[in-house]
Amino acid sequence: MKKAFVFPGQGAQFPGMGKEFYETNAAARALFDKANDILGFEITKIMFEGTAEELKQTKVTQPAVFLHSVITALCLGDKFQPDMVGGHSLGEFSALVAAGALSFEDGLKLVSARAKAMQKCCEAQPSTMAAIIGLADEVVEAVCKEVSETVGIVVPANYNNPGQLVISGSVEGINAACEKLKAAGAKRALPLPVGGAFHSPLMQGAKDELQAAIEATQFQAPKCPVYQNVDGQAHTEPEEIKKNLIAQLTASVRWTQEVQAMVAAGATEFTECGPGKALQGMIAKIAKDVEGLVIRGATEL
């Protein structure tokens, strides 16, 4: 029986997030205060008192979710004993800090740089994402390929669980793909309220910017294997981890494959560290046949 700790991505944020940690835990409070200094603005004020709309700005959302997730793991103390870790998109940075591959300060600086670079790409070109429910991955992949060749860029972005694949691309590409996928039998083809085409070639500018920041940052060997989004496999070698982290911005998040690989490596307990319960729902669908499977939030430990 092995324990996997997993960390959520953008979209898990909520008003008031982290306030309880700040008020009850001195170590958490110190990290929050340090984050305000590093970021150059009071992210704690937006997290604790801001509206959902204010929290939705990419430059705020990503550091906020990262902070909440890393501090959740810290507050577990001795209960944080992972055999493996993984994170969904942005959550991969939280996982790397929690596993000791990256310092808190460096992790936050990279997340902030990533958020700003992605925001810039979003503003430079109208683009979006959509969730496709109820179709086989192969069907979605084939439609994406066809639309990319005829209308505009659209690619599979997040393999969330069997029967749920998020696609990403130009506004025209996404609209055309949604129509074709509905005609192919998708239960839903739901445009997402996001500012851009994350995990697609349209993030190339952000990838170039983040590459320089990641290459200039010191990474250590993690204390346990880190499962990464680009290939869904375990990694422990710092240079390999960096390479995968750079590739992640324009590559698909292979979350289904990542959870399957963790299960194959013996994981039967999954604990989500961070805001929301999105990953718990995905894992329940991916690993539903695992005997004695335990899935929970960190507060249930």
User: How many CA atoms, within 13 angstroms, populate the side-chain half-sphere of residue 181?
Assistant: 37
Q: Are 74 and 21 in contact (CB under 8 A)?
A: no
The dihedral built from the CA positions of residue 135, 140, 142 and 146, taken in this order, carries a sign that is: positive
**Residue 130: is it exposed, middle or buried by C-beta count within 10 angstroms (0-12/13-18/19+)?**
buried
Query: 164-170 and 234-235: which strand pairing?
Result: unpaired
Residue 214 contacts by C-beta under 8 Å, 6 or more apart in sequence? 110, 242, 245, 246
Task: Give the distance from CA 22 to its chain's centroid.
Answer: 23
How far apart are alpha carbons 18 and 30 in whole angstroms? 13
Told to judge if 89 belongs to the known catalytic residues of this protein, a careful annotator would answer: yes
The token duo for 76 is 């577990």
Residue carrying structure tokens 């995905």: 282
Orientation angle between helical segments 104-124 and 58-75, nearest 10 degrees:
160
**Residue 193: is it exposed, middle or buried by C-beta count within 10 angstroms (0-12/13-18/19+)?**
exposed
Catalytic residue among 69, 89, 168, 252: 89
Told to judge if 199 belongs to the known catalytic residues of this protein, a careful annotator would answer: yes
The dihedral built from the CA positions of residue 51, 52, 57 and 59, taken in this order, carries a sign that is: positive
Q: Are 35 and 63 in contact (CB under 8 A)?
A: yes
Catalytic residue among 199, 200, 235, 252: 199
Residues with active-site annotation: 89, 199
